[in-house]
Amino acid sequence: MSEQLPVVSLFSGAGGLDLAVERADAEPLSTADLGGGLLRVSVATDYNEPALQTLKANFRDTKTLTGDIRVVPTEEILAKAGLRAKEPVLVVGGPPCTPFSKSGFWLEQKRESRDPNASLLDEYVRVVRETQPEAFILENVQGLTYKTHKAQFERLLKGLGALGYNPQWKVLLAADYGVPQLRRRVFVVGRRDGQRFEFPEPTHSGWSEHSRTVDATKIPHVTAAQAFEGLPILSRASNDEIVDGNYGELAAEIPPGQNYLWHTERYGGRNHFEWRSRYWTFLLRLDPNRPSTTLQAQPGPWVGPFHWENVRTTSGQERARRLRVNEMLRLMSFPDDFKIAGTRADVQRQLGNAVPLELGKAVVRALMTQLGYLDREPASRSVAFA
């Protein structure tokens, strides 16, 4: 254990980045490979108790610290981990993304980038400044890079740059790294020695909402159907999985890969909705032959993606169904035995806010290779969800 390199995790949530850290040297897309233990998360912090319960259940050797980072001194974080400044090899974390998410744009203060939680970016810079790790990895939603949040993003980069870390940033598509999900996240990475970090090249390719260009030299995107292979087939859905109520019948009639637009005058369903009158995720069904769209952290009752197969209620009616926990784990490329604490809403929130494992691994692995701790990246790229 003493030979493992220590890592400080901030805003840890369900532990997506933490899992990526501890499995950075494992084979890609092999949930059975735990890696050789190059890195260890020494301390993980969060203010959300269900998230910390999840961390405790999955990272037994990691110390946890509950509290608002704005009032938790860096000295306390280091002391909890048994570390001093300059001893952590990495500081990793994703400050809560609500201020920068498109889903928050209905609030005026978020549209105008006045959300007080945006200051959490400054707290991340503070911890990096006071812990002086060899490198850091910060991740967030793509919205952080939008013009609306230009001042906050530039302040973040300037603050990290002033520490000598030469921060580099890039928006990465999870599906391009083997995750069966079209999820975009921005990563900011910097090294204490000031050397420029080079982001990992995609290993997979396929079309998305932004591009129809496919690189035939890369592995095709992992589809939702591939991700769900081997999962148990249940004969009956639980009540909280059934999409019922006002739009239950309409949702059941929508084909795989379609959304509420199916029920407009331009498509083959009922002419029930106005064209482009709702969010894209409204009544959205998964396409089994493509990666999933982004899993939502706090979806409303009619927000997908829902499974492409219907289920029957006790009265015999066909209804769409919500994704099960084991399916969401697969779409996040998490191991099947990953334990998540709390209610279904807690599970959805934790996974919806998490970093997909394989995406995080790709970034951590590239960084550790460039720092000289790994000789090369693992060669195997076979899909192995198990």
pLDDT tens across 225-239, in order? Answer: 999 999 998 878 888
Name the pLDDT band for 383 (thresholds 50, 70, 90): low
> Cα–Cα distance between 216 and 218 in angstroms, integer?
5
Query: From residue 163, how far is each of 133, 157, 288, 359 by CA, in Å?
Result: 11, 10, 46, 27
Mean per-residue pLDDT, 67-84? 95
Mean per-residue pLDDT, 333-355? 91
By the 8 A CB rule, do 285 and 257 touch? Answer: yes
Mean per-residue pLDDT, 112-139? 84
The residue type found at 259 is N
Name the pLDDT band for 377 (thresholds 50, 70, 90): low
Mean pLDDT across the chain, nearest whole number? 90
Highest mean pLDDT among 75-89, 202-216, 366-380: 75-89
Name the pLDDT band for 106 (thresholds 50, 70, 90): very low
Going 44 to 10 to 331 to 296, the CA torsion angle's sign is: positive
CATH architecture of 5-220+335-370: 3-Layer(aba) Sandwich (3.40)
Whole-prediction pTM: 0.91
Judged against a pLDDT cut of 70, whether residue 1 lies above it is answered with no
pLDDT digits (tens, 9 = 90+) for 235-271: 788 888 999 999 999 999 999 999 999 999 999 999 9
Comparing C-alpha atoms, which of 368, 371, 359, 372 is closest to residue 29? 359
Q: Looking at the chain, how many residues does it have? A: 386
pLDDT at 378: 54
Judged against a pLDDT cut of 80, whether residue 81 lies above it is answered with yes
pLDDT at 341: 83
Find the range with the poorest average confidence among 51-55, 225-229, 279-283, 360-364.
Answer: 51-55
Whether 97 sits among the annotated catalytic residues: the reply is yes
pLDDT digits (tens, 9 = 90+) for 131-182: 999 999 999 999 999 998 899 999 999 999 999 999 999 999 999 999 999 9
Judged against a pLDDT cut of 90, whether residue 324 lies above it is answered with yes
Judged against a pLDDT cut of 50, whether residue 107 lies above it is answered with no
Name the pLDDT band for 303 (thresholds 50, 70, 90): very high
More confidently predicted of 211 and 170: 170
Judged against a pLDDT cut of 90, whether residue 99 lies above it is answered with no
pLDDT at 52: 86
pLDDT at 98: 57
pLDDT at 96: 84
pLDDT at 109: 42
Judged against a pLDDT cut of 70, whether residue 200 lies above it is answered with yes
More confidently predicted of 115 and 107: 115
By the 8 A CB rule, do 285 and 256 touch? Answer: yes
> Cα–Cα distance between 93 and 10 in angstroms, integer?
5
Q: Where are the domains of the chain?
A: 5-220+335-370
pLDDT at 34: 84
Name the pLDDT band for 380 (thresholds 50, 70, 90): very low
pLDDT at 193: 98
Mean per-residue pLDDT, 16-27? 95
Catalytic residue, chosen from 52, 55, 97, 172, is: 97
Judged against a pLDDT cut of 80, whether residue 376 lies above it is answered with no
By the 8 A CB rule, do 230 and 215 touch? Answer: no
Judged against a pLDDT cut of 70, whether residue 129 lies above it is answered with yes
Mean per-residue pLDDT, 207-222? 90
Backbone torsions φ then ψ of 311, nearest 5 degrees: -125, 165
pLDDT at 155: 95
